[in-house]
Structure 1
Amino acid sequence: MASTSRTRTGRGRGRGRGSGSSSLPPPPSTLPLIIEEFFIVVYEDPLVKKELPKKFADYLDGQEPAKVYLRAADCGPRLWTVEVLFDGQGRMYLDKGWEKFAIAHGVDFGCYVHFKYEGDDVLTVKVFDETMCRR
């Protein structure tokens, strides 16, 4: 029985709170909001403007770029310039330039498009078909 209690005292993050331990992470409400990666699913015309997740738009709050630069993963250094629209209600859309990028990279109905924010208004993009295989 004594060995069981020894095992329990050394386990879990909650142990040692009363001793002033600083190894615990801060509560989730105090962690910074960092949205680096997200998916959109193409349910409608793949060539019209695309809405990005509200959490990502919120992350950019106050910066609201007029354009972003899309880089297709594993396709070299080429950047595609895409204009961005904000609707005043916290929603963000990829607009002019998206159509050319979508055609060049095979974005179609049922595709999953993965975005990774690299900073400096650059998003790396991977396109997956409806079977979740990379295009």
Structure 2
Amino acid sequence: MKIASKKPQFFKPIQPGFKHGLKIPIGFLKYLEGLNHIKHAILTRTGKKWLVKVNDWRLEEGWEKFAEEHDLQLGDFLIFKHEGYMEFEVSIFDSSHCNREYAEYLQEGGNNAEETFKKVEF
């Protein structure tokens, strides 16, 4: 017996040519019924949002920026959790099969600011 997920998900391995777009799997389209007129999707990650053009269920314009900002590489693995309408929370796993870790540099104070290194794990 299958139990319906409250927030359905799909995964995509990063393959050659990924910077030019990413196709939403045909099997996932049942969760997007009635939304074929929508021309954009919102990808969210750690509270930040990216607007991405959708063409024939393919993430295109804006996807390249998302891929660059997250330094996506061949062998990475993404999980898209449907948050409703055309919004997806994206989780990124690297070739080690673990959540991708990102580094953020934060500055504190005015002119005497020191750079601190904060490791953020998603």
1:35–1:55: 8 Å Cα contact kept in structure 2? no
Which residue is equivalent to 1:49? 21
Gaps of at least 5 residues in structure 1 are 1-26, 87-91
Q: Which has the higher helix share?
A: 1
The answer to whether the aligner puts 1:131 opposite 2:96 as a matched pair is: yes
Instruction: Number of aligned residue pairs: give it.
Output: 99
- Equivalent in 73, 88, 91 of residue 108 of structure 1: 73
Structure with higher Rg: it is 1
Which residue is equivalent to 1:23? none
Q: Deviations over 1:60-94 (max 9, x none)?
A: 1321221110001xx2x2210001111xxxxx211
The amino acid of 1:63's aligned partner reads L
Q: Which has the higher strand share?
A: 2
TM-score normalised over the length of structure 1: 0.65
1:112–1:129: 8 Å Cα contact kept in structure 2? yes
Alpha-carbon shift at residue 34 of structure 1 (Å): 7.1
CA RMSD of aligned residues (A): 2.1
**Ranges of 4+ aligned residues in structure 1 off by more than 6 Å:** 31-35
Change in Cα spacing, 1:60 to 1:120, as seen in structure 2 (3 Å) is closer
TM-score normalised over the length of structure 2: 0.71
Which residue is equivalent to 1:85? 55
Percent sequence identity is 29
Gaps of at least 5 residues in structure 2 are 101-122
